[in-house]
Amino acid sequence: MERIVFSLMMIGLLTLSGCATSPMGRNQLIMMSDAEMNAMGNQAFLTLVQKTPVVKDPQANAYVDCVASALIREVGGQWQVAVFQDGDANAFALPGGKIGVNSGMLNVAANQDQLAAVISHEVSHVLAKHSNERMSQQSATKLGLGLIQAVASAKGYNSSAMMGALGLGAQYGILLPYSRVQESEADLMGLDLMAKAGFNPTESVNLWINMGKSSGGNQPAEFLSTHPSHDTRIQDLKNRMPQAMELSKKAHAAGKNPQCEDLARR
């Protein structure tokens, strides 16, 4: 009984102390400090650099750095950018100001605006503290699993069966929907960010069309996926496009007009 009471108290305290609001106005559970997340992001980036070769081509690096720099000017802070020699069409941003772009992404993102859509999406994950939120969710879920196990043992139930059922519920009923929400949130935040930097926001739609073609249609059903379907995210982007176009017009009026593709052609 004492174990159950203690677990309930811990869950309550952590939930109360971790309440936060995302930039899109969504309630979040944030339990880690920025310093802790930055340290983990820096270590993860260092590990990647040690294990994955970086692209040496000066044109490719200048191109990616140009796009990233235009976006970084909008969000501020110190960021390190690296292009990795990896054929997967992927990119990431980590707490601590780290941005990585795989060389394979340069074959899918057909122009500077599409690359800006990718990088701004990943940077938005960091700005919205999505990594912190995921870790906090997992910590809270583990506490909940421990509580259920304690209750089952006290009541004489089959704790293994209950844990298995809750594990499935936690996987498909708690964690993944939040992840889809985070992905959608990063899509919309990223759309605004690229527009504010002077990139063409309509190219974000073309990017996801290209991503769909590159995957050969091999995408899991949306319900069991950590990402929204390509069709869903494209429609969400289109719905927000009028607002993004206004931001883009203001950016151009302020003289923000990135010319990164000129670097790639030199």
Each of the 266 residues of the chain gets a pLDDT tens digit; together they read: 444 444 444 445 444 445 778 787 888 778 788 998 899 899 999 999 999 999 999 999 999 999 999 999 999 999 999 999 999 999 999 999 999 999 999 999 999 999 999 999 999 999 999 888 888 777 666 655 454 455 445 555 454 544 444 444 444 444 445 478 888 999 999 999 999 999 999 999 999 888 888 766 666 544 445 567 778 889 999 999 999 999 999 999 999 999 998 776 55
Q: Give the whole-angstrom CA distance, residue 266 versus residue 255.
A: 23
The encoded tokens of residue 131 equal 């990594």
> Which pLDDT score, from 0 to 100, does residue 232 have?
86
Q: Which domain holds residue 79?
A: 2-265
Between strands 91-94 and 98-102, the pairing is: antiparallel
Q: Give the Å distances, CA to CA, from 115 to 78, 87, 193.
A: 20, 15, 13
CB distance 119 to 137 below 8 Å: no
Cα separation, 99 vs 112, whole angstroms:
16
The pLDDT of residue 213? 81
Nearest of 37, 106, 124, 125 to residue 65 by alpha carbon: 106
In degrees, rounded to 5, the angle at the alpha carbon of residue 199 between the alpha carbons of residues 75 and 70 is: 40
* Number of independent structural domains in the chain: 1
What is residue 238's predicted lDDT score, i.e. its pLDDT?
A: 96
Could you give the residue numbers annotated as active site? 122
Per-residue confidence (pLDDT) for residue 166, from 0 to 100: 44
Neighbours of 11 (CB within 10 A): 15
pLDDT at 24: 76
Cα–Cα distance between 83 and 52 in angstroms, integer?
Answer: 10
